[in-house]
Structure 1
């Protein structure tokens, strides 16, 4: 799903509508101005005719308005073009699998999980938590590895239900905890939207992340 403001979407669908309305209004105003100017010239006092400089001033003012309308029209067209580019960029994210440190969706298949232990660590443990932030599995892993596989079972070996989980990697040295680093996994992008000049991705786990948090992208299966 791609989220965009309704007004922008409707204008992008019919970009000529605003332009046509502006040209129509400008033409109507110009004709009205000419009629008023003609009536003014016909009904002026012959003994005290209007100064020609006053006509020139009125024409100059209208010319300025005309140029401003044209400038606004060009800016509107540019904004619509940029909006269309943003839509294309957003559409490219939907359906992709992205690697990000955020809650991930587990169904039935093993989940690849990515994290790096502290360089000085002599022991590491992969910690899995459910959507209630309860630890459901704790797996000793090599401290010199950065990719692991979680089979979706608890510490007692029982299969865990499908749902949303998160992972972190704890680094130890001499029995002392050095760090607890969030681990990343691949999640499917189901929605993309522009928020405060940043693209935000909504994942199949329900998590929302900024694109600058994504470390890898692959085509969704």
Structure 2
């Protein structure tokens, strides 16, 4: 057998150790992997930074969720009205008056009703809380003059309904009306968005206070706060 010369062995060794060329497919695959890694890191950064901003906003606004972020099952179903005469609990008609209920809940969360006064009380008719200087449906009702014996007693016009004026509300304009008797043209004047289910005796006690000729209570009767609940 012939022996291989040293120079031939050296040349064969160099050929074996020489690096092989990288194929275009390998280069493309490597670039794709790098792109996917960079895209994943960028997406993760955006997600957590956006989450951080939302958390800061919730802390800034007292941790309250916006109504648009709440599921339908999370929307409060009851309003607890704490008055100087006692507590009134009302069921909210979310399905019947969704926009008004949403506005009412937002105003409750902002403390709109704290310190609000019952500034007009019409016996056997309605009690009204809100801006003392406002002129609402109850003012028109008093000017017309009502006769209780002639009132319609249909369910939609029954007593102890919670409502507000149909006029566009400004910062002070969300009035609260609680009927104390059936009212025939109730739906023409106010939007009914709830019904008193507990505390009817408190409503009646407010109704019986002494008033002047303009149906303004002679003694101060106010709302201390309104809280929202899922269950009673």
> Which of the five TM-score ranges fits, normalised by the shorter chain?
0.3 to 0.5
| TM-score (normalizing by structure 1) | 0.32
RCO (CA 8 Å, sep 6+): is it higher in 1 or 2? 2
TM-score (norm. length: structure 2): 0.31
Of Structure 1 and Structure 2, the greater strand share is in 1
